[in-house]
């Protein structure tokens, strides 16, 4: 009976993700509207960068999904650990989404049938399945794929101590990349109180505030508080063409998009940046830049400092 109830819940959640949730994303973010509703689920689940972006949008714009986040009595739910009408919580559903994405990516990276217990994709998924529970793990799925299954099984919940690729390598025990990198500079934390933007800031400003405060983004950009304030104000007013070409078509994570756009602002200055990337901006010029970035060294994408350097080089 429990298995039947679980399967029914999964089917209901999947149908909701494919239909109403997809439509909510398409209506909330104009750049996502070009993805047909019937294709949205598979497009997002098959693309880690796009999935990470959607999860961030969901967290920042909950009001767009409020009509779906209700309990059995149709009351709005604001706690991620409270059961929704489907019998699962937001926390449970995010874990389900992360696991579904990981299963697809393990199959793509390792081959074999993920349903076959003898396949490495299946063995890795079973070893890590219980610990795929957070939205931030989407960015780590490509780094989980090559890990030895026995090491993952031995780590168990300790794998959650790794919040980025470098700490994952450290935990697993292989340090080839870390050993080759110079130590990161120590930066004083930017206070979250008061925030660098005025009270009553827009949702877009809150969204960029959180993205630019990602520790890896801050290390790559080295923004002080005054420059952070100006950057947030500019990025909150980028044009639809910029959102479409840079934030969707390139398949960048939000951290990567923040590095690209902030670097462009630093190189071009506020007036030059707004003329190209602002609203209305120059969509043809944005597309030309995005095409050149797409053709650049893709290995730099996950190295945010390297990505900043590539972006600056394209604009100089």
Tens of pLDDT, residues 79-105: 888 889 888 889 899 999 999 999 999
Which is higher by pLDDT, 296 or 100?
Answer: 100
Which is higher by pLDDT, 185 or 48?
Answer: 48
pLDDT of residue 189: 38
Most confident option among 47-51, 114-118, 190-194, 195-199: 47-51
- The chain-wide mean pLDDT, for the chain, equals 82
- Mean pLDDT for 152-158 is 86
Most confident option among 158-162, 180-184, 190-194: 158-162
pLDDT of residue 58: 93
pLDDT of residue 200: 54
CB atoms within 10 A of CB 103: 20
Residue 186 confidence (pLDDT) above 50: no
The total number of structural domains that make up the chain: 2
Which is higher by pLDDT, 144 or 251?
Answer: 144
Q: Is the same domain home to 95 and 241?
A: no
In a domain, 180, yes or no: no
The residue out of 173, 190, 215 marking a domain boundary is 173
H-state helical runs in the chain: 2-16, 22-28, 37-45, 48-60, 90-110, 120-128, 141-144, 149-155, 165-172, 176-180, 203-212, 215-221, 225-235, 240-242, 254-277, 283-294, 304-315
The residue out of 129, 157, 173 marking a domain boundary is 173
Residues 220-233 pLDDT 10s: 888 777 788 889 98
Q: Is the same domain home to 106 and 218?
A: no
pLDDT of residue 141: 94
In a domain, 11, yes or no: yes
Q: Is the same domain home to 22 and 153?
A: yes
- Mean pLDDT for 53-82 is 90
Residue 69 confidence (pLDDT) above 50: yes
Which is higher by pLDDT, 106 or 219?
Answer: 106
Q: Is the same domain home to 32 and 88?
A: yes
Tell me which DSSP letter residue 178 carries.
Answer: H
Q: Give which of 219, 293, 218 is closest to 250, Cα–Cα.
A: 293
Q: Is the same domain home to 152 and 218?
A: no
Q: Is the same domain home to 30 and 156?
A: yes
Q: Is the same domain home to 166 and 244?
A: no
- Mean pLDDT for 112-116 is 80
- Mean pLDDT for 130-150 is 91
Q: Range of 251's domain?
A: 203-315
Residues 250-290 pLDDT 10s: 777 778 888 999 999 988 888 889 999 998 889 889 999 99
In a domain, 260, yes or no: yes
DSSP labels, 256-295: HHHHHHHHHHHHHHHHHHHHHHBSS--HHHHHHHHHHHHT
How confident is residue 192, by pLDDT bands cut at 50, 70 and 90? Answer: very low
Q: Is the same domain home to 304 and 214?
A: yes
Stretch among 124-133, 194-203, 265-274 having the lowest mean pLDDT: 194-203
Q: Is the same domain home to 77 and 139?
A: yes
Q: Is the same domain home to 34 and 155?
A: yes
In a domain, 190, yes or no: no
Residue 182 confidence (pLDDT) above 80: no
């Amino acid at each position: 009976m429990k298995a039947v109830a679980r399967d029914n819940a999964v089917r209901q959640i999947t149908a909701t993700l494919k239909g109403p949730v997809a439509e909510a994303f398409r209506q909330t973010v104009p750049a996502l509207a070009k993805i047909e509703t019937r294709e949205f689920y598979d497009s997002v689940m098959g693309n880690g960068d796009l999935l990470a972006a959607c999860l961030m949008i969901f967290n920042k714009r909950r009001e767009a999904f409020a009509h779906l986040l209700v309990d059995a009595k149709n009351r709005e739910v604001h706690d991620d650990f409270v059961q929704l009408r489907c019998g699962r919580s937001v926390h449970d559903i995010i874990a389900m989404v992360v696991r579904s994405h990981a299963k697809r990516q393990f199959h793509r990276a390792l081959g074999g049938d993920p349903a076959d217990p003898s396949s490495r994709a299946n063995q890795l998924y079973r070893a890590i399945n219980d610990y795929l529970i957070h939205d931030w793990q989407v960015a780590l799925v490509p780094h989980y794929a090559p890990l030895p299954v026995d090491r993952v099984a031995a780590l168990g919940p300790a794998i959650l101590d790794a919040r980025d690729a470098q700490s994952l390598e450290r935990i697993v025990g292989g340090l080839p990349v870390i050993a080759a990198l110079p130590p990161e500079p120590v930066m004083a934390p930017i206070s979250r109180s008061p925030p660098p933007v005025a009270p009553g800031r827009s949702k877009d400003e809150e969204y960029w505030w959180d993205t630019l405060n990602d520790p890896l983004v801050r290390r790559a950009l080295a923004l002080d508080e005054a420059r952070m304030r100006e950057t947030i104000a500019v990025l909150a007013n980028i044009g639809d063409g910029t959102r479409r070409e840079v934030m969707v078509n390139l398949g960048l994570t939000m951290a990567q998009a923040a590095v690209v756009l902030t670097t462009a602002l630093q190189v071009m200055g506020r007036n030059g940046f707004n003329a190209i990337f602002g609203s209305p901006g120059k969509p043809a010029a944005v597309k030309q830049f995005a095409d050149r970035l797409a053709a650049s060294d893709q290995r730099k994408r996950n190295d945010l400092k390297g990505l900043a350097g590539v972006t600056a080089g394209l604009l100089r």
